[in-house]
Structure 1
């Protein structure tokens, strides 16, 4: 996947993002002294990441269910209306049970489908997702605070696994407060569904684990939403942001621009992928308005 497709100019919508409130957690620091060029800095990140990944013990996993909703906002969307829409979507987690984590925001890159906003939610079970779609509060939010401002949306739901600890399950802590959410939807060829798809997705997951200095968490799975089968699979990856010395999107750029990523895409994905939609958005703490 060409890097330009992931880092192009953003649509003309105001910056306003939310994420879980700040809670204490471990802090990831980087020493960049003596590394003035992008190439040398990238090489150091790779070296540090591989050392960190090799020292991590095997972690226990637990299943979760991820929900992705992409929205196409109307061009006339105002700052006030956008804030209203995102506020209601974000606070839905406090009005219904089963929602484990939420992140959302304005999509930062141009995309062929012209989606403008993205919502990511995590649930405990598939039953929780089913109840979510039918919840009267959520249906009212869609009717009164989303669809008046948007003319289309797509939903993708998939089951995945995450580290079995509270910070990673609920996406809490300092490393989840800032960064970039990278949502990559795939439509694989029907003839390729099976071992080749699983091998491709597993290779991408293993690659993400080799870069813990860039990647906070990555999940993947097969779309089981029967009403929205345009895409067969999804991968959601949270990239770090060390705000003291690089922009929040740079970790994503380094990862997708790496030789390793390009090799995985060329050898595992290119021949079996019929359609793909990569989008990303920046994440800041709740209520943080970025000018």
Structure 2
């Protein structure tokens, strides 16, 4: 319980993390409290099974990672041993539910949001749940969706079915919301793209919204975010998947960047966030360039079950 502190913060942020590479495609975030709640996820990703990142190189602003183990063809690697990447678009919806929201109403709201993937094309991954830790912005529920292209996201926003879900099954139960969208990269393979895999049925979905100061020097931003990205690589299997990017949603521009990170367990989260290396990096690299950050998390479990 001691980890549960307000998640809308000004510096120092001791348990917030963000990672953006110079190319603007990678960001990691993590925050977790050991409470159990209702949450769901289609699936999640790890780097190709049996592989470990052993080195990296830069080329025209793009980072490539070499793998230490042999991989079968079709695991998303190119002939020169470097991981191929594919662009994807991430969508975050944060909701403020009314205080008198009943369990039945909550289930109705989340069920309709979750099953929207079956009624509309374009959504390739989804997770959602009740936010565990109180925050100063009073967000109570979070929804994460992934799309293949920006065009798919645009069609999603204009879809009449989704508009009806919001009108009939979300707005009556909530008094406010924000959306953040960003483009990122994942390995070009089914598992990372669609966030599939048995070992990722359980976990913690972490969402970080961060506001970089307008006066922050570009080189300082790149240095800080690249340092954090390198740190996430060092933790290997303790991080399932992480993406980040600049906020594309001009309607909700309070936060300049956003990230989603999946941890396989609370223990993995704790190892990462309590690392002295992480704390020192955050203090030295991010303190001077960040205005505020909103860090949220919820538990997920296999589709069709609930955590009691």
Q: 1:161 to 1:190 in 2, by over 3 A?
A: same
RMSD: 2.5
Shift of 1:53: 3.5
> In the alignment, what sits opposite 2:197?
173
Change (3 A) 1:208 1:26: closer
Find out whether 1:125 has 2:137 as its counterpart.
no
* Partner in structure 2 of residue 275 of structure 1: 292
Determine the C-alpha separation between the residues in 2 that align with 1:9 and 1:217.
20
TM-score by length of 1: 0.82
Pick one of 96, 118, 121 that aligns with 1:72: 96
Residues 1:172 and 1:92: Cα distance change in structure 2 (over 3 Å): same
TM-score, normalised by the number of residues in structure 2: 0.78
SS at match of 1:281: strand
Give SS of 1:190's match. Answer: coil
Distance in 1 between residues matched to 2:112 and 2:217, nearest whole Å: 37
1:37 maps to: none
Equivalent in the alignment of 1:62: 86
CA separation in 1, counterparts of 2:93 and 2:120? Answer: 17
Shift of 1:22: 10
| Other-structure match for 2:37 | 15
Instruction: Give the structure 2 partner of residue 245 of structure 1.
Output: none
Partners of 1:173 and 1:6 in 2: CA distance: 22
The structure richer in helix per residue is 1
Structure 1 counterpart SS, 2:209: strand
Q: In structure 2, do the counterparts of structure 1 residues 193 and 172 end up closer, same or farther at CA, with 3 Å as the change threshold?
A: farther
CA contact (8 A) 2:207 2:296 kept: yes
Partner of 1:148, secondary structure, is: helix
1:205·1:218 contact (CA, 8 Å) conserved in 2? no
Corresponding position of 1:290: 307
Secondary structure of the residue aligned to 1:191 is: coil
Q: Tell me, in whole angstroms, the C-alpha distance in 1 between the residues paired with 2:179 and 2:146.
A: 13
Aligned residues: 258
Structure 1: how far apart are the matches of 2:116 and 2:142? 15
Q: Deviations over 1:202-239 (max 9, x none)?
A: 22222111112210111010001010001000121111
**Which of residues 11, 14, 20 in structure 2 aligns to 1:2?**
14
Per-residue Cα deviation, 1:59-81 (whole angstroms, up to 9, x for no partner): 11110000011111111111111
Q: How does 1:97-108 map to 2 (within 5 A)?
A: 97-108=121-132
Runs of 5+ consecutive residues of structure 2 not aligned to the other structure:
1-12, 17-29, 55-67, 70-80
